[in-house]
Amino acid sequence: MIKLPATGLALLSLVLVHCTSSGQQDPATKDSTTASTPGKTGEGPDARYTVTEHSFGLVPLDATYETLLRTYGKERVTDENMYRAPDSDEMVMKTIINKGKRDEIVIQWDDSSFHQKILAVEAGQENHPFKTSDGVHYGTTLAELVTINGASISFSGFGWDFGGLLTDFHGGKLAYKEGLPHISYDLGINLTQQYDEIMGDQIIDTDMPKAKKYLEHIVVKQISLMPAL
């Protein structure tokens, strides 16, 4: 079995943005169905959906539950008992922002009873709008990810609890840096034909012949941000 880091699953936190005196709408309260509309030419990335090593959209890694309430309003922030990890029977309280919407964020707390220290923030809804500063987003192919990384990538086979987990960036640009927060990705595969050779509990490298023919069909689905280990 692949051993996951203690930081496992993840989800969201945010910073309060005030309306201007001219009555401009707070970005955190805009309709999430229009959230990913491309900006005009020359505009920078939308901070609400930009993931860096220090924040997931508007949520800094040092945010608390009170921060989330001030940013989104209590009607958009809910708590729910969820499994700690895919292979775990342990239930923990996680916080969900914009539940069921495309820009849903899930936050796991290191202290789930107190909601003061974030363990992980993640977005995994279909076509979610979150994007890293390296340009990784929902639907980025594994071939594109290898190009961004500048080195091969290892991942777990599909079809089980930890299927599609990226396990090694082989020293490339996306490699985890010890002592720093890190961004991780979970993969999915868009194929109707059989792909048995990349299924199951195994570690696969993108340089392997059996993987190369699937690199354009394996895509990023979930993006997570975790604090320094």
> Domains of the chain (ranges plus CATH)?
45-131 (3.30.1450), 132-226 (no CATH)
**Highest averaged pLDDT of the listed ranges 22-26, 173-177, 218-222:** 218-222
As a whole number, mean pLDDT of residues 108-116 equals 90
- List the structure tokens of 131: 């994007």
- Sign (positive/negative) of CA torsion 143, 40, 123, 14? positive
pLDDT of residue 43: 62
pLDDT band at 24 (very low <50, low <70, confident <90, very high): very low
* Averaged pLDDT score across all residues of the chain: 84
pLDDT band at 192 (very low <50, low <70, confident <90, very high): confident
As a whole number, mean pLDDT of residues 116-136 equals 96
Q: How far apart are the first and last CA of the chain?
A: 21
Pair 80, 104: CB distance under 8 Å? no
Q: pTM of the prediction?
A: 0.79
Q: How many CA atoms lie within 13 A of 140 on its CB side?
A: 21
Name the more confident of 1 and 18. 1
Residue 23, classed as helix, strand or coil, is coil
Pair 118, 107: CB distance under 8 Å? yes
As a whole number, mean pLDDT of residues 31-46 equals 51
